[in-house]
Structure formats: structure tokens, C-alpha cells
């Protein structure tokens, strides 16, 4: 299976600061990456679809100015939580769909990043 590396695994920050989370596809080129958020005892909620070389597609209710996504290369997508607040504390996890858009095979997940905002 594909290898997806996500960093950092956990981060604690003060309210009002920004946090960047990186998602790297280590062994294949990923034109599409997905960012999910998961609150305790809940399922994965799709936040946005990250597209290499173009703007991300955000799901309804997700603030694009707060959750900045950059997919500058075929192996790296970043999620920046700007001006973080305690309610942003969550488990953020990226996933990768190999190959060109239109592929609908297995999703490969990063290890996830647990964000705690004090």
C-alpha cells in the first residue's frame, strides 16, 4: 500500500496562533488529497479536497479563510489552522487517492495530527 506521512503527530498551541500540518505522499504522486477532521467518538468529517496546482474545494460549513490548504506539489499538501481557538481542537487526518483525478480506489491515510488549543 501507499505510504502517507503526516506531521506533526500532535501539537499544543495557544489560542490565536496558527498551526500548519503537512501531509506527504512518499511513494506516489497524488493529484488529490482529502483533509478530514474527527472529534472524539465521532466519525471523519470531510473538510476539503486538495487539488494539486489549483484551489481546494471546501465542504459546506468549513471556513476557507480559517483552514488554509495548499497543494503546491504532487507529494505535499498543507493545512494551516489560522487563529486557532479551543473549539478547533480535534484530530486532523489527511488521505491520499493515488493517480489522476477520477481514480476511485482505496484511500491511504496519514497518521493524523492531534491539535489541542489552549
Of 5, 13, 28, 57, the one binding another protein by CB under 8 A: 57
Stretch that binds another protein, among 18-26, 66-74, 78-86, 100-108 (CB under 8 A): 100-108
Question: Is residue 33 within 8 Å of residue 25, measured between CB atoms?
Answer: yes
Choosing from 29, 109, 116, 118, the residue that interacts with another protein (CB under 8 A) is: 109
Tell me how far, at minimum, the Cβ of 91 lies from another protein, in Å. Answer: 8
Q: In what order do the strands lie in the sheet with 19-25?
A: 4-7, 19-25, 76-81, 67-73
Spatial contact of 74 and 31, defined as CB atoms under 8 Å apart: yes
Distance CA(37)–CA(33), nearest Å, equals: 14
Q: Which lies closer to another protein via its Cβ, residue 14 or residue 104? A: 104
Applying CB under 8 A, which of residues 93, 98, 115, 117 lies at the interface with another protein?
Answer: 93
Q: What sign does the CA torsion over 81, 108, 56, 64 have?
A: negative
- What's the N-to-C CA distance of the chain in angstroms? 37
Tell me the closest approach of the beta carbon of residue 111 to another protein, in angstroms: 6
Binding characters for another protein, 7-46, by CB under 8 A (x = yes): ---------------------------x-x----xxxxxx
How far apart, in whole angstroms, are the C-alpha atoms of residue 110 and residue 103? 19
Q: What does the binding site for another protein look like in residue numbers (CB under 8 A)?
A: 1, 34, 36, 41-46, 49, 57, 91, 93, 95, 97, 101-102, 104-107, 109-112, 114
Amino acid at each position: 500500500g501507499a505510504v502517507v506521512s503526516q506531521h506533526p503527530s500532535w501539537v499544543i498551541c495557544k489560542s490565536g496562533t496558527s498551526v500548519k500540518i503537512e501531509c506527504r505522499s512518499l511513494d506516489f504522486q497524488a493529484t488529490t488529497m482529502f483533509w478530514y477532521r474527527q472529534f472524539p467518538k465521532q466519525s471523519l468529517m470531510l473538510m476539503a479536497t486538495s487539488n494539486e496546482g489549483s484551489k481546494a474545494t471546501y465542504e459546506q460549513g468549513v471556513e476557507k479563510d480559517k483552514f488554509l490548504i495548499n497543494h503546491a506539489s504532487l507529494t505535499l499538501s498543507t493545512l494551516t489552522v489560522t487563529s486557532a481557538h479551543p473549539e478547533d481542537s480535534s484530530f486532523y487526518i489527511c488521505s491520499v487517492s493515488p493517480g489522476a483525478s477520477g481514480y476511485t480506489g482505496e484511500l491511504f491515510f496519514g497518521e493524523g495530527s492531534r491539535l489541542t488549543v489552549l
